[in-house]
Structure 1
Amino acid sequence: MRIAIGNDHAGTAYKLAIIGLLKSMQIDVGNYGTDGTDSVDYPDFVHPVAREVEEGKADYGIIICGSGNGASMTANKHQKIRCALCWNKEIVALGREHNDANILSLPARFISLPQALEMVKVFLNTEFEGGRHERRIEKIPC
């Protein structure tokens, strides 16, 4: 499995911890985020993640910014991307089960690092339910 990850300055510490978690799970990681805390523009780091997922080079993506909103909006401009902005494990599970989310957007300034790590685990371990949800996904323009 390959996960593409990107972040702005607000998400650097979270990204580094998530990369550690993913590597401990033997998951290949494509790091497109900043490694610093100087102010940067999140689209510069989100577009490469979305492209990797869109082109099938990564199975999933994880993006992190202060609120998660800008990153999510940017990712969802890409074809074939269904990015879920999540703030707890239950929303993560529903994003995967009902919406077949392929990118997880995390709001670094509104969740703790332990919460973020748990949310990543839920994201990776939850399957899309299909069924009635499939026809809804098909109605999202690509």
Structure 2
Amino acid sequence: MAFDIDDATEPAAVTMEWLVLGAAYFLLILFLIGVFDLFLSLYGLLVTGNFTDPNAVVELLDSVLLLLIIVEVHRTLLAYAKGKPVLRIVVSAAIIAIARRAINFRLEDYDTGQETVLAALAIAVLVLALAFGYYLLDGVEVPDRPEL
């Protein structure tokens, strides 16, 4: 009887598929909790009258972007489980994450002006690089590379 590598790796592959699906359902639960929390936060802002406070609105927007990141990671897991391309989804999740960081950018988080400028430039470079990468991925169809 010869050793067949496919037979030996099959249980690990099946287990990984189930774990990926489990993680996808876990993210779905986190998303539902996040949406509920978002509505509670919005209600709290409306009741207290703080809906005009820019910091409170940015915190609310931060929650929305975090929920979008959860959605993108969920989409990535589902696409991976189905054997579909994931690269565009991952890049779009990264764009949302960097946008979230840019929106939460605070000058007081840095000790010196040089650190502040360096952090702002780093965020700008990341946004531009990811946007350019997404543009390239969106315009390219490679028949032999389904992951693109």
TM-score (norm 1): 0.27
- Answer 1 or 2: which has greater helix percent: 2
TM-score (norm 2): 0.26
- Answer 1 or 2: which has greater strand percent: 1
Structure showing greater Rg: 2
